[in-house]
Amino acid sequence: MIAHCPGCGYSIMWRQSVYSHVASSAACLLIIFKSNQLNIHFCYVINKFCLLEMPNGKKSNKRRHEQISEPEKQTVLKQTKRVVTKTFTSQIDLAQENDSFKENDSDCCCSSSEKKVDFVQLEMKLVVQKFGPLSKAKALKLVTPYFNDPGQDKIIKSNMFIGAHVSVKGGVDNAIENIQKLNGRAVAMFLRSQRQWNAKPLTDAVATNFRTLCEKYNFKSHQILPHGIYLMNCGSPDAKLRKQSADCLLSDFQRCEKLGITMLNFHPGSSTGKTPIDSSIKHIAEAVNLVLSKTKGVTAVLENMCRQGYTIGGDFHELRSIIDLVDDKSRVGVCLDTCHAFAAGYDLSNEDGYNSMMNEFESIIGIKYLKGLHLNDSKGECNSHLDRHEHIGFGHIGLDGFRRIMNDKRFCNIPMVLETPPDDGVLYENEIRLLYNLIE
């Protein structure tokens, strides 16, 4: 029996674990409450019985299989709301005991005498739990963007196309509607299963519907940056794996042609430590030249890496070397991943580090080759070589780092895609709004 938390999507298999999860995760409770999702889409263990809505829409009760009546449903919801509110109130009390939240704080959004649920206050408490004691001003600076609607005028005038990597479950054509639900203006997705080499054929019906939805929602090709599967290694010293990778890359380029997509982003590859870096770079360029010679209108977008292991692309010179070996330079570019850059040694948390990265990118690669941006904070520290994505503002890059990015006109009119963890309570829609609110 499995339940999925509507706050974070976490899959829970045991009834007691379900309640423990929601009771211990204030972030999930907060999102459930704020989005009015306090209903039987989540498995609540209250008063000895459990309600669960299965993926097929049918209701299941492990302890009692008879139909659950509407009065019973309403009873359990009321009881759950009482428990949740009590949990929230106790958190407010704890927060107000902290020196950062004293009653005489002029910015405080609720006094110690108030026992009602205040979501800004609660989210500040979550921030304190995440970062340790903070000043009220700093906590508010971190959380208030989540609650603001930036407004369509600001979004459109910014020429910033912010979106997310979305699921294509049920067909790649679902990506456009999925990103619309998040109010995103850019989208990334896999064009096939990322876990296996074999892929189902892309049908004419799916391709036609994808193009139709793009037209319906006015989604242009420069707002779409699909991702190649992670199994590929075009720089491998193993000739068999290189061929398999090149064939896979070609297949994805052909899918792009059919869908009307003009870019495909992928990880360059790895030398695996068994071949010189120059040889690996040559192999990657050969794969790019092959797919470009057999397709039309699709640009190969290389992603910078974090210098983990023997990966190619953590050094901008490596990306430039690949570009130099590509025959058609009008169809090659680079996607910058902020987490990868930070982990590779560019300290985006401060202005000097950010300027250093952008100056090196311009001088070594050239800004004309910048085709996209992956927006990810970093769980690892600068120069850690760890590819561990974190939610915007909650990692070592921090909000100030992303504020610089959002106000840099060099990122206008290219897809800017979130790849932050999808399963721990922070919704892409909130992060998209946060990023637009950082534009000054």
Task: Identify the helix (H) or strand (E) that includes residue 338.
Answer: helix 338-344
Residue listed under structure tokens 């004691």:
133
Q: Cα-Cα-Cα-Cα dihedral of 287, 291, 293, 297, to 10°?
A: -140
Has 419 been annotated as catalytic? yes
**Choice among 105, 286, 315, 419 that is catalytic:** 419
Which two structure tokens, joined as six digits, stand for 256? 């792009």
Residue 435 CB coordination number (10 Å)? 24
- Which of 64, 215, 217, 230 is catalytic? The answer is 230
Catalytic residue chosen out of the listed positions 123, 173, 337, 377? 337
Residue 13: both structure tokens together: 């298999």
Which of 331, 389, 404, 433 does the annotation list as catalytic? 389
Cβ proximity of 308 and 387 under 8 Å = yes
* Residue of 123, 173, 303, 318 marked catalytic: 303
Angle between helices 26-34 and 119-131 (to 10 degrees): 160
Instruction: Say which of 66, 70, 195, 352 is annotated catalytic.
Output: 195
* 303 in catalytic set: yes
Q: Give yes or no: 227 in active site.
A: yes
**Are 254 and 247 within 8 A, CB to CB?**
no
Structure tokens at 436: 């637009």
403 flagged as catalytic: no
222 in catalytic set: no
Residue 230 catalytic?
yes
Say whether 425 sits in a helix, a strand or coil.
coil
| CA contacts within 13 A on the Cβ side of 108 | 18
Q: Is 114 in the active site?
A: no
Three-class secondary structure of residue 46 per DSSP:
strand
Whether residue 369 lies in the annotated active site: no
Residues 236, 242: contact at Cβ < 8 Å?
Answer: yes
- Cβ pair 333, 263 in contact under 8 A: yes
Catalytic option among 374, 391, 396, 433: 374
Are 210 and 176 in contact by the 8 Å Cβ rule? The answer is yes
Q: Which residues are catalytic?
A: 195, 227, 230, 267, 303, 337, 340, 374, 387, 389, 419
